[in-house]
Structure 1
């Protein structure tokens, strides 16, 4: 669990609610289901309109990474690399096939398969770079739905405010209904701006950072597979391991 994300979200909400109460405001005044529905449903509807369904679903599933980020694989990869290097030097590249069958990581499987198949090193590197680029594009597109939500939310909050004011104008003759309309008008704006800056933008940036970390690991693995294919000295592979562990 990423406690920094939980504490950060808690501090953001605490700052909002405490500041509101210090001015004499009541917590209940910020609870407006109508405003929440307008902003949240409208925002995600707009995001879904601009995004492929599969990408939208993947982006929603990635939300859990903010609080439960994928475990770093750097230590595991470093041990595997050392084992691959030793096996290749002692028994030959063909013996790496056994590790290909043992790993669940599709990228590692592909890299080892290309090495075992004797693909030319430069061609192997090109194929793996294409794989990394495809993976990065797919993951970034999914993470970007949260940035899109941050862009739409404030505007939809303004739409909610306008709807609330329309409701107010329609009921000028009934003072008892004016309060609810005004509340929806102003709280919609708070929801739109607050969600965009306290949740949607931070979530999008956090997910992009996680994707960048995964891509960095794959870049180093691609270099390792290239080194194995070229038969470079184990010292070169050791340097790759050192780079991999630098941020472990």
Structure 2
């Protein structure tokens, strides 16, 4: 399977990130209009996000990989799953998408397009929770990718995020792009701009921990594919090129027969 052109992948990342932010913010707003019970509000927000994220991965995964998250993109690039030169464009698309989705979420509930959040969240407990949340999310993804269980990524990620809403003190942002988007909505899911940088730092630390754990737990990943050497002028990643020919791509050991 040939990797889609970069513009198409970036469009998928932008749309998926925008819809994810709209789901997170919109469901939070809806929850507060339905009930004054904070626990029920969190449950509504968690279920909507978990189910929505699962669907978004299924829809956009075949095009751009459905990262929707700079921490995921950087982790995958670190382990050779995508070209480093594509990573910055992915991150920009994700941030732009989440910002657009936040505006859409506000607009759907007749709120001003941008309302800067006043919810301070950067406590020590929340920052620790973000390290754990991001590490767990990225590890789930890397574990499934490196063990060739890609069909499980969508349900596993959705289930993890749904549970992490409740077992982490921060309610599991676990995503620098969505953190930036949530600054633009002074609603249930918002985060004050002053809290965003430490949250993002904690998320990136968690992703780095996940990369190390993935290498330790899954040190050798082999993808069985086809039988002639790669054309050096052929577009796409090494894995994509090999998939059209006769090689196995080992993300740790290189190209082998």
TM class, shorter-length: under 0.3
Tell me which structure has the larger Cα radius of gyration.
1
Higher helix share: 1
Q: TM-score normalized by structure 2?
A: 0.24
- TM-score normalized with structure 1 length: 0.25
**Greater relative CO, 1 or 2 (CA 8 Å, sep 6+):** 1
